[in-house]
Amino acid sequence: MPTYEELLQEAQSRLLELEGGGKPWIRVGAAVCGEAAGASETLEAIRAELDRRGIDANVSIVGCLGLCYAEPLVDVQKPGGARVFYRNVTPDKAAELVESCVAGDDLRPDMALAYTGRITLDGIPRLDDLPVWNRQVRIALRNCGHIDPLDIYQYIAQGGYAALDKAVNQMQPEDVLKEVQDSGLRGRGGAAFPTGTKWGFLARSPGPVKYILCNCEEGDPGAYNDKGILESDPHSLIEGTILAGYATGSSNGVVFIRHGHEGPIHRTERAIEQAYELGLLGDNILGSDFSFHVEVSLTGESYVAGEETALMESVEGNRAMPRARPPFPAQSGVWGLPSNINNIKSLAYVSEIVSRGGEWFAGIGTEGSKGTAILCLSGNIALPGMVEVPMGMTIREVIDEVVGGVPDGRKAKFLQTGGPLGGVLPADLLDVQLDFAAMAQAGAILGSGGIIVADDRACAVNMTRVLVAFCQYESCGKCFPCRLGMTNLIEIVERICHFESRPGDLELMRVVGQNMAAGSLCGHGQLGWNPVQSAIRYFQEDFTAHMEEGRCPTGQCLSPVFTPQRTRSRWTSAQPLELRF
């Protein structure tokens, strides 16, 4: 097997060939956001036009740069020239782009978004000067949108797997663990538990077979950053996972992805194959005596499968229903063996932490929340996309200064953060910092990083209905406070939406919610009351309008809402459900 130096040399010469080999290099953003915008058709149209003109060019796909509003995003780099990004290159514009920028020498500032490179161009801004880019600190997303996720050499050429080489050949497992502990990294999957501490538990568990489970269930609507990383830069996750394995003395890794998301699944599988081919996975990694194996495990549609103990059940092929703890996963996890569950984003940081040192990472962010926040912004927002900004920035800065604010001259009314269980955050609290504690104090969670912006046309009661319908639909049903509590909540919220609430409904929901929080086995039931609680707390007037005045201030509740059968309440039936305590 090659040494790391040999791999790096090979990677650099391949990159040199791509950049300076005399051919134009065209890259098309093809993560799911690009695909939804028509990237495959654009790619096809570009290839067809190149063929028609007999132009020999390198055409690659890349993942998501995060500027999803500009998808399909295509960039062109000619030998010795700048790399120019073109926005919204729909298939019908592909031929024009090839004609002007590839065949000809017109850089088409009218179609361009930005450029990077050493030379200076007129009429096109530098990528680093775009407001959406210049406040970002890209660590986990460092390669996203720049490299071909199907080509391991492009990852290596950016310094990929150097941290692994350094770790297995120059560092002791304890040293790697210490860097991660020193970095102050806290898990990005929702619970914000210190990653180094968690690894420490596993490191102390007896081997030889121990598991690192990488959680890409990502069922939170509004978040797609885990899938985004796997689609755009799968090796950053693979390298982080191997490092986690080395630090904790583990033998196996499992990347857990929801079935049906073909992009992340296919690219992760391919990345694993390539890592095996080059001796970066398997026995005696990079000539050391460390061995580690990684496989992909798919789960069916189930939100709760993302909960760590349910995830282990799913990996074993069972229903994704949480287990009682203790025993904790570090003692008895998947297949009864010691295990650690980490979010994709948490692991994607690790190789940079090992390369640059924990102290460097701890220098970014706030006292209690180190590093960056990887956010997915969607909804009523000018520039929807995926950004990575330092912790400590306020949400208002992100919304107004990074992603362009709320469009059409409207005002933000509320945000829905951290997935359905996170509830809603009113616009007047937007000055809260991106910080786990500060967010919690405001009654919200940063969670997985999804931020959904709703403008003043949205009704808080209507949004609550959708969130509660989601939570009810996804309750795994194992414990009754959650299973029945969610059903009660959706019934009551639905009758409020229909202006048919009964006296005491708010109080009734509070009682149900408190029982859920106290008596549920996992976070789903424990937090399931959050969306209702936060909406009542911050949007009392919306509830009053529905409950006492029989009107919906925005009119949203007058339109029918279609949700799956399971979430439909029975309150309209002849004998409405009575709740007694």
Ligand X SMILES: Cc1cc2nc3c(=O)[nH]c(=O)nc-3n(C[C@H](O)[C@H](O)[C@H](O)COP(=O)(O)O)c2cc1C
Residues that bind ligand X (CB under 6 A): 187-191, 193, 195, 215, 217-219, 303-304, 306-308, 341-343, 346, 522-524
Least distance from C-beta 531 to ligand SF4, angstroms?
14
The runs of H, that is alpha helices, within 54-186 are 91-97, 131-134, 152-157, 162-170, 173-183
Q: Which is nearer to ligand SF4, 76 or 522 (CB)?
A: 522
Q: Which of 74, 320, 402, 479 binds ligand SF4 (CB under 6 A)?
A: 479
Write down the least CB distance from residue 158 to ligand X, Å. Answer: 23
Query: Between residues 342 and 433, which has the closer beta carbon with respect to ligand X?
Result: 342
Q: How far is the CB of 480 from ligand SF4 (least distance, A)?
A: 8
Q: How far is the CB of 314 from ligand X (least distance, A)?
A: 11
**Secondary structure (DSSP) of 334-393:** GGGS-EEEEEHHHHHHHHHHHHH-HHHHHTSB-SSSBSEEEEEEEES-SS-EEEEEETT-
Tell me the C-alpha distance between 360 and 14, whole Å: 31
**CB 37 → other proteins: shortest distance, Å?**
4
Q: Is 477 in the site for ligand SF4 (CB under 6 A)?
A: yes
Sole window of 183-191, 260-268, 351-359, 569-577 interacting with other proteins (rule: CB under 8 A)? 260-268
- Pick the closer one to ligand X by CB: 426 or 443: 443
Question: Which window, 43-51, 209-217, 457-465, 470-478, contacts ligand SF4 (CB under 6 A)?
Answer: 470-478
Helix H segments across 383-459? Answer: 395-396, 436-441
**Residue 20 binds what, of ligand SF4, ligand X, other proteins, none (CB under 5 to 8 Å, by partner type)?**
none
- Least CB distance to ligand SF4 at residue 493 (A): 18
Task: Yes or no: say if 8 and 165 are a contact pair by the CB < 8 Å rule.
Answer: no
The contact mask relative to other proteins for 521-560 (x = CB under 8 A, - = no) is: --------------------------------------xx
CA-CA distances (angstroms) from residue 344 to 17, 153, 406, 486?
32, 21, 29, 29
Residue for token pair 């030889």: 208
**In this chain, which residue has its C-beta nearest to ligand SF4?**
525
Could you tell me the smallest distance in angstroms from the CB atom of residue 271 to ligand X? Answer: 19
Q: List 207's β-bridge partners, or say none.
A: none
Which of 83, 270, 483, 498 is the binder for ligand SF4 (CB under 6 A)?
483
Position 415, amino acid = L
Q: Please report whether residue 323 would count as binding ligand SF4 according to CB under 6 A.
A: no
Is 88 an interacting residue with respect to other proteins (CB under 8 A)? Answer: yes
328 φ, ψ to 5°? -80, 155
Which of 158, 183, 416, 533 is the binder for other proteins (CB under 8 A)? Answer: 416
Sites for other proteins among residues 185-224 (CB under 8 A): 218-224
Residue 36 contacts other proteins per CB under 8 A:
yes
Q: Which is nearer to ligand SF4, 234 or 531 (CB)?
A: 531
Choice from 63, 184, 190, 322 touching ligand SF4 (CB under 6 A): 322
Q: Are 244 and 340 in contact (CB under 8 A)?
A: yes
Please report which residue ranges of 102-261 form alpha helices under DSSP H.
131-134, 152-157, 162-170, 173-183, 195-204, 225-232, 234-248
Look at residue 24 and give the partner it binds from ligand SF4, ligand X, other proteins, none, a contact being a CB closer than 5 to 8 Å depending on partner kind. Answer: none
Stretch 468-527 residues interacting with other proteins (CB under 8 A): 470, 473-474, 476
d(CA 252, CA 211): 5
- The reply on whether position 295 binds other proteins by CB under 8 A is yes
Question: Quick one: what does residue 217 bind among ligand X, other proteins, ligand SF4, none, with the CB cut-off 5 to 8 Å set by partner type?
Answer: ligand X
Residue 304 CA to residue 477 CA, distance in Å, equals 10
- 25 vs 16: CA distance, rounded Å: 11
Cα 314 from Cα 317, distance rounded (Å): 5
Stretch that binds other proteins, among 186-194, 312-320, 366-374, 518-526 (CB under 8 A): 312-320
Taking CB under 6 A as the rule, does residue 521 contact ligand SF4? yes
Touching other proteins, residues 90-119 (CB under 8 A): 90
From ligand SF4, other proteins, ligand X, none, interface partner of 38 (C-beta below 5 to 8 A by class)? other proteins
Closest approach, Cβ 235 to ligand SF4, in A, equals: 33
- Asked if 448 is part of the footprint of other proteins (rule: CB under 8 A), the reply reads no
115-118's contacts with Cβ under 8 Å and 24+ in sequence apart are 115/82, 115/83, 115/84, 115/85, 116/82, 116/83, 117/77, 117/81, 117/82, 117/83, 118/82
Q: Which amino acid is at 365?
A: G
- The secondary structure of 456-524, three-state, reads CCCCHHHHHHHHHHHHHHHCCCCCHHHHHHHHHHHHHHHHHHCCCCCCCHHHHHHHHHHHHHHHCCCHH
Coil, helix or strand at residue 578: coil
Query: Of ligand SF4, other proteins, ligand X, none, which one sits near residue 190, judging by CB under 5 to 8 A according to partner kind?
Result: ligand X
Task: Give the dihedral sign, CA 157/158/163/164.
Answer: negative
> Cα(171)–Cα(165) distance, rounded to whole angstroms?
9
Query: x/- string (CB under 6 A) for ligand SF4, residues 285-304?
Result: -------------------x
Number of residues that bind ligand SF4 (CB under 6 A): 15
By beta-carbon proximity to ligand SF4, the closer residue of 138 and 323 is 323
Q: How far is the CB of 458 from other proteins (least distance, A)?
A: 6
Task: Work out what residue 380 binds among other proteins, ligand SF4, ligand X, none; the CB cut-off runs from 5 to 8 Å by kind.
Answer: other proteins
Of the candidates 410, 407, 379, 377, which has an alpha carbon nearest to the alpha carbon of residue 395?
377
Q: Give buried/exposed letters for 296-335 (b at 16+ CB in 10 A, else e).
A: bbebeebbbbbbbbbbbbbbeeeebbbbeeeebbbbbbbe
Dihedral of alpha carbons 257, 258, 262, 263, sign: negative
Give the closest residue to 169 by CA, choosing from 292, 8, 284, 1: 284
Amino acid found at 207: G
Specify the stretch interacting with ligand SF4 by CB under 6 A; choose among 52-60, 209-217, 342-350, 518-526. 518-526
Residue 296 interaction partner, one of ligand SF4, other proteins, ligand X, none, beta carbon < 5-8 Å per kind: other proteins
- Name the site residues for ligand SF4 (rule: CB under 6 A): 304, 321-322, 475-479, 482-483, 520-522, 524-525
